[in-house]
Amino acid sequence: MKKIISVILTLLPVLCWSQFVDYETNKLSSEKQFKPVLKSLSALQNKFDQKFIHIALAVNDTNTYVSGSVKYKLLAKSNLDTVYFEFTTNVTIDSTQINEQNSVYYYSSDSLLVFPNVTIEQGNEFWIQIWYHGNPNPTGFMRGINNTTNTVYNQIVTWTLSESFHLKDWLPCKQDLTDRLDSAWLFITVDSSLKVGSNGMLSQITQLGNGKVRYEWKEHHPIVYYLLSFAASKYVEHNVYAHPSNYSDSILIQNYLFNNPQFLIDNTWNISQMAPIFELYCAQFGLYPWADEKFGHALCPVGGGMEHQTMTSLGYLDTWLVAHELTHQWYGDHITCASWQDIWINEGFASYGEYLYAQELVSQASADVNMANCHKRAKLEPNKSVYVPFADSWDENRIFSSNLSYKKGSAVIHMLRYLSNSDSLFFVALKQMQTQYADSVITGEDVKHIFENVNGKSFEDFFNQYYYGEGFPFYILIWQQDSTITGLDNLKLQLVQWGSSSNNQLFTTPLQIKVSFTENPDSVIVIQPSQSVQIFQIDVNNNKVSGLTFDPQNWVLDSLLYIYHISQDVEQIELDDFFITLGPNPASDNLNFKYSGPDNFKGIIKLYDLSGREMLSYNIMSNNEVIPLIKLKAGMYIAEINGNHLQLSRKLIIIK
Ligand SMILES: [Zn+2]
């Protein structure tokens, strides 16, 4: 899924991001209230497995009114006397049946409980059908089912978007990532002036008379609940075909577009790029998982897109958005995060799909800009991890954090590529994720094991520092090559590092450094940090070094603060030498404190006399402070500063 604040969005005030966030905030507070209830009810849902769903609904393109039924084939995992679904309370239940026998139900507080006439015994498959009608979304806020207008091309669409907990907004359901449906039919009845896009293959369009038609879509492959979707509007169909090199046939890309001639004119180039992007991913990730069905796009007035299985919903046809959502067909749909804590599986990889698209089909320069932007956005979250903490796993704003799950997630995958023994092994690992976890769920831990097996080395530290760990490292690189002290044959490097989060202070990812020489070609060396302050001696074979470039290809998510060239011999450089100035010395009435590090300074300065008695304590709340010394007598003192990972101790003379 991708929600974008874009120029198009500003033209659609109904769907602005802030309203979406407000809506989510309200929803979350009500969900927290019901969480204990939902927990006990979800135990009820664990008593059955979902096998098949047949959705048969009549809809229109002027509001979100629905009527019809949903029918499930379920397998009882234990003896069942209650079947529990989540379902909005905004509609009317007409009747329920289990195995074609009318049954009693209870419907309240987003819960629908259906009671079989006789207990369904463990191991038995059974059918359950629910008839209902009503307007599940009378408020019009963005939720499971929507009816909105694209004002640029003047087209109204009824469409669904059910990630992450919103299938229940329009369908009685079990919202469990681990219980994939084996197959699904979506039969949607509309006026004959409308077309309906959905999952799987369009098996038939049945003429019903009275100006009504039924679009009969059949998804033969397993599908996760939140990827069930339809979009209904006065679409125009415009199809293209992809020809992946690893497939003998062509694959249909079926597009349901806004029915406005200007739309085709505006998007000619975007449409021409669909097949090349599709063919690129078939080569990089393995054959498209639903090559025997189709891929497609249905245009919906949404600010971004949603990766509905075999038919993406798109707000517009931008190639970067097409690339992101298409990558999801492999990462998100074919293999799915095992819990929302591992949303990186979906959004990190889809975001990295954008980088791969740029690298192969635009230019390396545009891919570099994409990754630099990922780093920039990741660094806006110095105290958070890609992995979603359990406490936040219901919070959709945290799950779909653009800075963390998307941008930092993409940067983490780029580093996995860097740490792989070769580029080809990186793509072997990506393909292995697809084959090993096909039609199933996968965790970040599973991805770690795949990279370890493919490369024959540990990725434990990397995942602990960059996936589970918070923030990113700050680095200072100091170098020295002085013939009078070290001799020209050695380059002495000192790397100083600390983490942006106090919970994650040491990063051990190997770092590339390009060494430039006055008379010889550049050379790239690799250093492997293992402690906060570390000295590396590099043999440069008597060549004079003219300068260093840190991480020249920008592989690593970090923040390099300084490269420092010094001529005197240094064993250990203290950070405060770079960041803190304290003076004048001697001082009389005032002492000036100045901090120039990467963050805002908060700490304390204390002055002790020579017998160790504390004579002054002063809280420092900003990067520039003037500390009054009026009350102190002339003499020698020790000044100690603590704050921002720094500890400084210095002799100070006060004169009066
Ligand atoms: Zn996405």
- Given a contact cutoff of 8 angstroms between Cβ atoms, the answer to whether 465 and 346 are in contact is no
Give residue 374 CA to ligand 1 midpoint distance, Å: 14
Quick: pLDDT tens for 97-125: 999 999 999 999 899 999 999 999 999 99
- Residue count of the chain: 656
Give residue 231 CA to ligand 1 midpoint distance, Å: 18
Per-residue confidence at 485, pLDDT binned at 50, 70, 90? low
Give residue 35 CA to ligand 1 midpoint distance, Å: 26
Give residue 382 CA to ligand 1 midpoint distance, Å: 23
Query: What are the helix and strand counts (H, E) for the chain?
Result: 14, 37
Percent of the chain with pLDDT over 90: 82
With residue 625 as reference, give the H or E element that holds it. Answer: strand 624-628
Computed from CA positions of residues 338, 274, 228, 91, in that sequence, does the dihedral angle turn out positive or negative? positive
Give residue 486 CA to ligand 1 midpoint distance, Å: 53
Quick: pLDDT tens for 277-307: 999 999 999 999 999 999 999 999 998 999 9
Tokens for 547, please give them.
Answer: 């300068």
Per-residue pLDDT at 50 exceeds 80:
yes
Give residue 639 CA to ligand 1 midpoint distance, Å: 53
Give residue 528 CA to ligand 1 midpoint distance, Å: 34
| Mean per-residue pLDDT, 578-592 | 90
The dihedral region occupied by 347, where left means phi > 0, alpha psi between -120 and 50, and beta the remainder, is alpha
Residue 561 confidence (pLDDT): 87
Tokens for 111, please give them.
Answer: 């819960």
**Which candidate, 397, 267, 241, places its Cα nearest to that of 322?**
267
Quick: pLDDT tens for 508-532: 999 999 999 999 999 999 999 999 9
Give residue 393 CA to ligand 1 midpoint distance, Å: 17
| Mean per-residue pLDDT, 444-471 | 98
Give residue 327 CA to ligand 1 midpoint distance, Å: 9
Per-residue pLDDT at 453 exceeds 70:
yes
Tokens for 194, please give them.
Answer: 């409308």
Q: Which residues pair with 206 in a beta bridge?
A: 214
Strand ranges (E), 35-154: 48-58, 66-76, 83-86, 91-98, 101-102, 104-108, 111-115, 125-134, 145-150
Quick: pLDDT tens for 222-270: 999 999 999 999 999 999 999 999 999 999 999 999 999 999 999 999 9
- Of 22-26, 85-89, 359-363, give the lowest mean pLDDT range: 22-26
Give residue 389 CA to ligand 1 midpoint distance, Å: 20
Per-residue pLDDT at 8 exceeds 60:
no
Give residue 413 CA to ligand 1 midpoint distance, Å: 15
Give residue 587 CA to ligand 1 midpoint distance, Å: 59
Computed from CA positions of residues 40, 42, 45, 47, in that sequence, does the dihedral angle turn out positive or negative? negative
Per-residue confidence at 570, pLDDT binned at 50, 70, 90? low
Give residue 146 CA to ligand 1 midpoint distance, Å: 19
Give residue 91 CA to ligand 1 midpoint distance, Å: 30
Rounded CA-CA distance 219/200 in Å is: 4
Rounded CA-CA distance 168/109 in Å is: 12
Q: Which residues pair with 145 in a beta bridge?
A: 160
Give residue 408 CA to ligand 1 midpoint distance, Å: 13
Mean pLDDT, the chain, whole residue set: 91
Residue 20 confidence (pLDDT): 32
Residue 566 confidence (pLDDT): 80
| Mean per-residue pLDDT, 395-412 | 97
Residue 522 confidence (pLDDT): 96
Residue 141 confidence (pLDDT): 75
- The CA-based dihedral angle spanning residues 167, 168, 171, 176, taken in that order and rounded to the nearest 10 degrees: 60
Per-residue pLDDT at 29 exceeds 50:
no
Residue 237 confidence (pLDDT): 98
Name the more confident of 649 and 230: 230
Give residue 2 CA to ligand 1 midpoint distance, Å: 4
**Which candidate, 261, 46, 297, places its Cα nearest to that of 157?**
297
Give residue 399 CA to ligand 1 midpoint distance, Å: 11
Per-residue confidence at 576, pLDDT binned at 50, 70, 90? confident
Residue 39 confidence (pLDDT): 53
With tokens 């079990």, the residue in question is: 174
Quick: pLDDT tens for 522-561: 999 999 999 999 999 999 988 889 999 999 999 999 999 8
- Given a contact cutoff of 8 angstroms between Cβ atoms, the answer to whether 647 and 641 are in contact is yes
Cα atoms in the 13 Å half-sphere on the side-chain side of 254: 17
Give residue 530 CA to ligand 1 midpoint distance, Å: 35
Q: Where are the alpha helices (DSSP H) in 501-646?
A: 576-579
What are the respective helix, strand and coil percentages of the chain, to the nearest 5?
A: 25, 35, 35
Give residue 424 CA to ligand 1 midpoint distance, Å: 25
Rounded CA-CA distance 317/632 in Å is: 70
Quick: pLDDT tens for 406-446: 999 999 999 999 999 999 999 999 999 999 999 999 999 99
Residue 12 confidence (pLDDT): 30
Name the packing angle between helices 274-285 and 319-330 (round to 10°). 30
Give residue 615 CA to ligand 1 midpoint distance, Å: 58
Q: What are phi and psi of 216, to 5 degrees?
A: -110, 100
The dihedral region occupied by 606, where left means phi > 0, alpha psi between -120 and 50, and beta the remainder, is beta
- Given a contact cutoff of 8 angstroms between Cβ atoms, the answer to whether 410 and 355 are in contact is yes
Give residue 415 CA to ligand 1 midpoint distance, Å: 20
Give residue 243 CA to ligand 1 midpoint distance, Å: 25
Rounded CA-CA distance 189/204 in Å is: 12
Rounded CA-CA distance 251/349 in Å is: 23
Name the more confident of 492 and 129: 129
Rounded CA-CA distance 355/345 in Å is: 16
Name the more confident of 43 and 169: 169
Give residue 499 CA to ligand 1 midpoint distance, Å: 28
Residue 267 confidence (pLDDT): 98
Residue partners of 94: CB distance under 8 A and separation at least 6: 131, 132, 133
Q: What are phi and psi of 534, to 5 degrees?
A: -145, 140
Give residue 325 CA to ligand 1 midpoint distance, Å: 6
Rounded CA-CA distance 52/473 in Å is: 48
Please give the radius of gyration of the chain, using alpha carbons only, rounded to the nearest integer. Answer: 30
Give residue 339 CA to ligand 1 midpoint distance, Å: 16
Side chain identity, residue 474 = F
Rounded CA-CA distance 11/315 in Å is: 12
565-572 contacts at long range (C-beta below 8 A, 24 or more positions apart): 565/478, 565/479, 565/480, 566/478, 566/479, 566/480, 567/480, 567/482, 568/480, 568/482, 568/485, 569/480, 569/482, 569/485, 569/486, 570/478, 570/480, 570/494, 571/535, 572/494, 572/533
Give residue 347 CA to ligand 1 midpoint distance, Å: 5
With tokens 């204990």, the residue in question is: 36
Give residue 418 CA to ligand 1 midpoint distance, Å: 23
**Which candidate, 229, 312, 273, 373, places its Cα nearest to that of 1?**
312
- Given a contact cutoff of 8 angstroms between Cβ atoms, the answer to whether 347 and 331 are in contact is no
Name the packing angle between helices 444-455 and 344-357 (round to 10°). 50
Residue 11 confidence (pLDDT): 30
Rounded CA-CA distance 307/335 in Å is: 13
Cα atoms in the 13 Å half-sphere on the side-chain side of 123: 0
Residue 571 confidence (pLDDT): 60
Give residue 236 CA to ligand 1 midpoint distance, Å: 25
Quick: pLDDT tens for 330-340: 999 999 999 99
